[in-house]
Amino acid sequence: MSDIRAVADKKGPFYQGSSTTLLLKVTDFDGTPIDPSSLSISIEGPTESGSAIVVLIDDALTLQVTTGFYVYEWDISDSQELGTYDITWEYVVDGETKYEYQEIVVTSSIDDTDRPPMYRGRNIAFRDVLTDYLCCAQSIPVYTEQSKTTRDYQTYSFSFPRWNQSSGIRIYRNQNVVNSGVEVNYFDGTVTFDDELTPQDTVNADYNFRWFSDEQLQNFLWSAVHTVNTYPPHSSYTLENIPDRYIPAVLYGASKDALRQLMMCLQFQQPQQVFGGREAAQQAFQGFQVLKENYEKDWEKLVEQKKFGPYPKTRLVVTPEYTLPGGRSRWFRYLFKG
């Protein structure tokens, strides 16, 4: 088993008295979801006061959403001690024990009150579905990439950040697999050796990364819901309260914006390397263009339907009044009196 250490992936601030959703996605290196044979999660903290274990949960208390996707709802009490908490998921795949490390901060308030917190409620659900729409872009394998030049011969960086922990990583030093004495920062895409290497050493890595960060996905979703609001009749929905009938429009709108950004990135040299160089990237660009246009057509149909309701219904009931032939109703006499 590898003794490579990992830097925790930061999952944002949560406030006292709220419910926190912790997520784990387990995949193989190519990004295919798989189920572990056992699973547990522990929460330790706050680290500022000695890291006392506050929660230890076995697999019976976690919820499996679908293959390889697990959630745990942590109800943070009103009196929960403030500070940083370390989340450790431990699971077994093919007889090998693996870990994923996350970090959250419990605070007494949320600074940005204009937007709902990113890591709770429907925001998480929207991002998870959007990730499924962009699944391949969020699980891209890279094999034996050589690290960039380092100055201190201890920290080595690679082309892309946001590595997926559950997919695993393989580090090579002079083509030999490294199993200890190194720390991996999955979010930054860097590896740091405990001891200084020599200028002649070559460091390579196999890793699996996400093209879009959580913040980028959230911005795509916020932009999409605000666009839906501009279509008649004007509305002021957020991701937390938008009616279910508009969810496809939000997801299609966010997907087309994400694809637009990805297509723009393919105009530059470094992102082109993921697709095999300039020519292969241009072929991928054309495929993304067709996909984006399909999303745009479906999105336009959905937002155009917004003006058709449903609206509150009113009904006028009229009781007819009959008179003898040649007579006039009392309402007619009243209106034309005099």
Whether 31 has a pLDDT exceeding 70, the answer reads yes
Separation CA 66–CA 35 (nearest Å): 9
Separation CA 323–CA 277 (nearest Å): 88
Q: Check: CB of residue 33 under 8 Å from CB of residue 70.
A: no
CB contact set of 276 (below 8 Å; sequence gap of 6+) = none
Pairing of strands 96-107, 63-66: unpaired
Q: Averaged over 57-79, what is the pLDDT?
A: 74
Tens-place pLDDT, residues 157-206: 999 999 998 888 899 999 999 988 999 988 889 999 999 999 999 999 99
Domains of the chain: 5-116 (2.60.40.1930), 144-209 (no CATH), 214-308 (no CATH)
Which two three-digit tokens encode residue 169? Answer: 């990583």
Whether 39 has a pLDDT exceeding 70, the answer reads yes
Give the pLDDT score at 338: 47
Give the pLDDT score at 70: 83
**2 vs 79, which has greater pLDDT?**
79
Whether 326 has a pLDDT exceeding 60, the answer reads no
Band (115; pLDDT cuts 50, 70, 90): very low
Least confident of 17-21, 33-37, 265-269: 17-21
Band (154; pLDDT cuts 50, 70, 90): very high
Amino acid at 14: F
Which two three-digit tokens encode residue 302? Answer: 């959905």
Separation CA 178–CA 186 (nearest Å): 16
Band (317; pLDDT cuts 50, 70, 90): low
Tens-place pLDDT, residues 82-96: 888 888 888 888 888
Separation CA 282–CA 263 (nearest Å): 9
Give the pLDDT score at 25: 84
Separation CA 205–CA 222 (nearest Å): 35
Least confident of 98-107, 117-126, 178-187, 290-299: 117-126
Band (1; pLDDT cuts 50, 70, 90): very low
Length of the chain: 338
Residue owning tokens 């419910």: 19
Give the pLDDT score at 81: 87
Band (315; pLDDT cuts 50, 70, 90): low
Q: Check: CB of residue 203 under 8 Å from CB of residue 173.
A: yes
Band (58; pLDDT cuts 50, 70, 90): low
Separation CA 306–CA 100 (nearest Å): 43
Give the pLDDT score at 8: 64
Separation CA 184–CA 190 (nearest Å): 6
Least confident of 16-20, 32-36, 273-277: 16-20
